[in-house]
Structures are given as C-alpha cells and as structure tokens.
Amino acid sequence: MQKDRCNKMKNWWKEGNAKRNWGITLALLAVAGLTGLCVFIPAISWHNHGGGMNIAGILFSLAAGCSLVTAIVQPWRRLGKYLVLLVGAILGFFALVWMHNMAYALREMTTNRLLLPGIFDFIDVSTFLLALFLCPCLFLVAAGGAALVSFRQIASAHTRWRKLLLALTGMACLAAMGGFIMFVFTQMA
C-alpha cells in the first residue's frame, strides 16, 4: 500500500513533463551566465562601494537567477508543480531568513570560541544570500509558469467552474508577480 502511494507520487512528478529542449536550456544557461558575469562589472555591481545597492546590479542578479531556474523547470507542463514551487519559494524565504537570524545570534554568542564563529558566519551569509537571490527567482518563475500553464489549460477545461478556477489561478499568479516587482522597485527607490 505504501509502496503504491510512493510509486504514484513518483509517476505524478514525472508525468506532465515535455521532452527537454536542449537548445532552449543551453540558451537560458548562457543568458544566466552572461547576466551573472555582468554583476561583477564595477559599474553594474549590485553593491555600491559608497553604500547602498545598485538597481541595475540587482536586476542583473534576478535575471541570472530567473534564467537559471527557468532552464531547470522548462519542461514542466503541470500546474501543480509550479504551485508546489511557488509555496516552496515562499516558505523557503521565511525559513532562510529565520536561519540567517539564528546563525547571526549564535555567532554573536560564540565570539570567543575557536571555530564556531566562522561556521556560523558562513551559515549566516549563505542563508542571507539564498533568501535574497534564490527565493525571489523561484517565486517569479513559479508564479509566471503557473499563470502560463493555467491560461493554456483554460481551452481544454471541460466545465465552466474549472475554466473559472484556472482563470482565477492565472490572474492571482500574475497579481503576485506584479506585486512582488512593485515591492522590489519601491524598496530600491
């Protein structure tokens, strides 16, 4: 019984994938690499040396991350996968922020120890960077993919309620993307 449930879950995750288009995947990886390298140009860098953040650098960082995530999830064709990724991005952000705060507090408490401050400093910085760059990229790609897949499935839906639910899901995902983008730009202004 448990094995059947496990196999059913594995099959659910595998089915609904299109065959990976390696040309698109390699193009997305090239875009991710180029935009990621642009972040290290001093005029574009996401961190101003005079303090603060550079908008162009953060946008290039988000573009690199979104291209990388899109290259990975490009063959997905199921709405459920994108919704799982969307919820995971939101929960992951809060979990990583919590881990960052705990590592910072533990680092401050163990400043006179030999090895612990270095370990907690690494955890502190890595979880901060993951929460700052990875989770927003996962959120944007998941919301965009969910909106795209739900709008594509409206035509093949058999009932009015299913069409309405798909349309509302797509609109909610687009609204979430727009709200996130507006939040980012208002915080940087």
The pLDDT tens digits for 151-163 are 999 989 999 999 9
Q: Is the pLDDT confidence value at 101 over 90?
A: yes
Range of the domain at 166: 77-189
What is the per-residue pLDDT across 64-97, written as a single tens digit (0 to 9) for each? 999 999 999 998 889 999 999 999 999 999 999 9
Angle at the Cα of 129 from the Cα atoms of 47 and 184, rounded to 5 degrees: 65
The SS3 of residue 17 is strand
Residue 29 lies in a domain: yes
Residues 123 and 188 grouped into a single domain: yes
Residues 58 and 149 grouped into a single domain: no
76: alpha, beta or left? (left if phi > 0; alpha if psi -120 to 50)? beta
Residue 3 lies in a domain: no
Q: 185 - beta bridge partners?
A: none
More confident residue, 47 or 113: 113
Residues 115 and 58 grouped into a single domain: no
Question: Domain boundary at 44, 75, 106, which?
Answer: 75
Q: Is the pLDDT confidence value at 102 over 70?
A: yes
User: Whole-prediction pTM value?
Assistant: 0.83
Residues 106 and 179 grouped into a single domain: yes
Integer-rounded Cα radius of gyration of the chain:
20
Residues 96 and 161 grouped into a single domain: yes
Residues 70 and 90 grouped into a single domain: no
Instruction: Tell me what pLDDT residue 93 has.
Output: 94
Question: Domain boundary at 7, 40, 75, which?
Answer: 75
Residue 123 lies in a domain: yes
Q: Is the pLDDT confidence value at 114 over 90?
A: no
| Contact status, residue 120 vs residue 107, Cβ threshold 8 Å | yes
Residues 40 and 126 grouped into a single domain: no
- CA atoms within a 13 Å half-sphere pointing along the CA-CB vector of 130: 18
Which ranges of the chain would DSSP assign to H, the alpha helix? 2-14, 22-38, 55-73, 79-109, 116-129, 135-153, 160-188
Which pLDDT band holds residue 9 (cuts at 50, 70, 90)?
low
Residues 61 and 89 grouped into a single domain: no
Weakest mean pLDDT among 8-12, 26-30, 103-107, 108-112: 8-12
Q: What is the mean pLDDT of the chain?
A: 86
Question: Domain boundary at 37, 52, 75, which?
Answer: 75
Cα separation, 130 vs 15, in Å, equals 29
Q: Is the pLDDT confidence value at 187 over 60?
A: yes
**Count of structural domains, the chain:** 2
Average pLDDT over residues 112-133: 89
In the block, which residue shows the tokens 């953040």?
53
Residues 58 and 113 grouped into a single domain: no
